[in-house]
Each structure stands twice: as structure tokens, then as C-alpha cells.
Structure 1
Amino acid sequence: MNKNIYIIRHCEAEGQSEDALLTVKGLEQAEKLSNFFYNKEVDHIISSPFLRAIQTIQPLANRLNLEVQIDSRLSERLLSSMPLSDWLDKLRATFDNLDLKYSGGESSKEAMDRIVNVVMDSLESEHENTVVVTHGNIMSLLLHHFDKNFGFKQWKELTNPDVYLLNSFDEKINYTRLWDE
């Protein structure tokens, strides 16, 4: 069976905390995102519990009269529980070594496994067209799972929001970037 899973990175937010709200621009982007999906079939929506992810998809959920299923496996990856002044260099290193783990944090492999499991669960569900709303780092790790060339450089090029389509056909998964704004 042919299944589509739309992977969305949240819209522009005021910060990185779990309860960070979308900016005014982010709220406008959420409306644009809803319009973007206007002619697409969507029968299931899953979101990170982070407020910025829920706010990103709520206009579409309202339009389609669908409930947003919250899944903590879509939470952004915690690089470290300690402040890292050189966090960008440390993040880059985790794309080269997926098992690298900093104090109190999660390895790329651990975070990747979480989001891959959400996708696999979606592929095994009765839903044909699922929207998954998440965050940049974990989204890039998902895409890396399907394409080893998707790495730190591609993560840096993601936009807020961003949309990729994972398409499953004959047990092969391909992805395409759909958002171009």
C-alpha cells in the first residue's frame, strides 16, 4: 500500500523551551502551512508535545476537524543537560558519530530511533496520509536514517517551517522536500 507521511518542522518560535510560543511571524506561517495542505489528503496528525509544534499544526487540524495526537517521541533531542558554549561544534560531531553522547543528553542514534519508530508505527497504521510535526534536529536525524548523506549541513539548511514527504511504496521509502519558501 502507498502511504504518505508529511514530516513538518515547526514554525518560527520565541525560543527553545518546551513551552516557547510561536512568534507573530510563526503564527502567520502556521496559517500558510494550513493553506499548503488544502488540496492534500490528510487523515491523521501527530505532534511533538512542545507548544510550538502544536501551534504549528493547530490551524490545519481545525480546518480538517482532526484531533492532534501528541507523541513524546517527537520531542526535540536534548543534546546535553549542561549549557554548552560550543554546542554547534558538539552537534556537528554527533552527526559524524551517532553514538556520541554528552552529559545528560541523548545520542543521535537514540533520538533517531524515537522518530523512526513513530514513522514505522504510522506506516503500520490504517492511516494513509499522516502529518508528523516535530523539530529540526530530530527531523534531520530521521532523514539521515533514510539517506546517510543528509547530515549537519542539511540540518543547517532547514527552514521554519519545513516540510518533507516520506512516501512508502512496495516497502521502499523515498523522501522529497515540499516546502520552498
Structure 2
Amino acid sequence: MKSIYVIRHCEAKGQQREARLTAKGVQQAETLAGFLSNMDIDRIISSPFVRAIESIQPVAERKDKKLELDDRLSEKILSTRNLPDWLEKLREAFDDLDLKFDDGESSRDAMNRVTSVVEEIRQSDVENTLIVTHGNLMALLLKKFQPDFGFEDWRNLSNPDVFLLQFLDNNEVKVERLWVSDTV
């Protein structure tokens, strides 16, 4: 059975590509490494955003695994402009997957982007892969396999967060949240 662990990055200082983890986020990354220490991980693929890399670096070091970067795991671009009502726009984008704002990408486009990473993993010989991404993209990936996963579920994600996708022989996908948000 093929397993993909989907990780949301730890607490960060901002949303920019270069945003680093907060002091709490650094502690969370160590806790995350301990949490994943008993899990068999063959491959680690991360968003190239600094906060994602810093979140999973302790795991890569403990497991002695190369950290692969993949732009397709970057956060969804809601808009290229500052949206004062961004939260409401995000809610709308969960309800209408084809909605786009100011040169942003639609939820469907972002979902297809992250799903392409998962499909490549499914076709590979690797059994246990860990992917590190961002909240909105993670929510869209989970929505792909659980269509009722929506805006409120996104709001309830924690930093970090861990879900397990298991691909069963009958092409069914089992989705399980592994992280207990009050761990950190």
C-alpha cells in the first residue's frame, strides 16, 4: 500500500516566499521530527518556500534523506494584489473552484498542480513519501480526495499538521489526520 504523508509547515513569520519560522515554529519542527521518527519514510519532497524547508529539515537530517524541492508544492496564489477581504475571497474560492482573482490561480488549477505531484509519487516505486506544503494547497489536495473538505476545515488546520493518504488496491484513497494540534 502506497502512503503519502502530507505536512503543513510550522508557524512562520509571514507569507512571503522567504519567510522563516518563528521561535515557536523552530520548536514545532523539532517536535514534528520526533513525531515522524518511527515512521518509515523513503522520500521527502518540499515546497521551495523557506518556512516549508525549515519545517522538515530536522526530519530529513534524522532520517538521513535528501530533501527534494518541487515548485508545485508552493502555496496557491490567491491574487497578485493585496486583497483587504482576502479571507472572504478564499471562502469564495473553496465554493467555486474555477474562481480567479487578479492574476491569481483558481483553486482547481492549484488542486491539479498539487495532485500532479501525488500522481507522480503513486506511479513511482517508492512506498512512503512525505510532502511538505502550505495550508491552502494542503486543503485543496485533501478536497480532491474528500470533496466535502472545505473552508472551515482549512481554518481548522494547525501549524504544523500531518495527514496520511493511503492508496488502496481498489483505487480508493484513505485520508487520515495524524497530527493532534495541541501537541505543540
- Give the alignment's TM-score, normalised by structure 2: 0.97
Any idea what the Cα deviations from partners look like across 1:114-160, whole Å, max 9, x if unmatched? 11111111111111000000000000000001111100000000000
- Give the alignment's TM-score, normalised by structure 1: 0.98
1:160 maps to 159
- Alpha-carbon distance in 1 for matches of 2:37, 2:108: 35
* Alpha-carbon offset, residue 38 of structure 1: 1.1
Identify unmatched segments of 5+ residues in structure 1: none
Three-state SS of the structure 2 residue aligned to 1:166 is: strand
Letter in 1 for 2:40: E
Letter in 2 for 1:179: W
Give 1:1-181 correspondences, 5 Å limit: 2-170=1-169, 171-180=171-180, 181=182
CA RMSD across the alignment: 0.5
Give the % identical residues. Answer: 53
Three-state SS of the structure 2 residue aligned to 1:35 is: helix
Letter in 2 for 1:114: R
Letter in 2 for 1:138: L
* Alpha-carbon offset, residue 169 of structure 1: 1.1
Structure 1 runs of 4+ with >4 Å offset: none
Three-state SS of the structure 1 residue aligned to 2:52 is: helix
* Alpha-carbon offset, residue 174 of structure 1: 1.1
Letter in 1 for 2:99: L
Letter in 1 for 2:63: L
How many residues in Structure 1 have an aligned counterpart in Structure 2? Answer: 180
* Alpha-carbon offset, residue 99 of structure 1: 0.2
Three-state SS of the structure 1 residue aligned to 2:4 is: strand
- Alpha-carbon distance in 2 for matches of 1:42, 1:154: 27
* Alpha-carbon offset, residue 16 of structure 1: 0.2
Letter in 2 for 1:178: L
- Alpha-carbon distance in 1 for matches of 2:13, 2:35: 23
Three-state SS of the structure 2 residue aligned to 1:164 is: strand
Any idea what the Cα deviations from partners look like across 1:65-122, whole Å, max 9, x if unmatched? 1011000000000100011010000110001100000011000000000111111111
Any idea what the Cα deviations from partners look like across 1:34-88, whole Å, max 9, x if unmatched? 0001111000000000000000000000011101100000000010001101000
Letter in 1 for 2:177: R
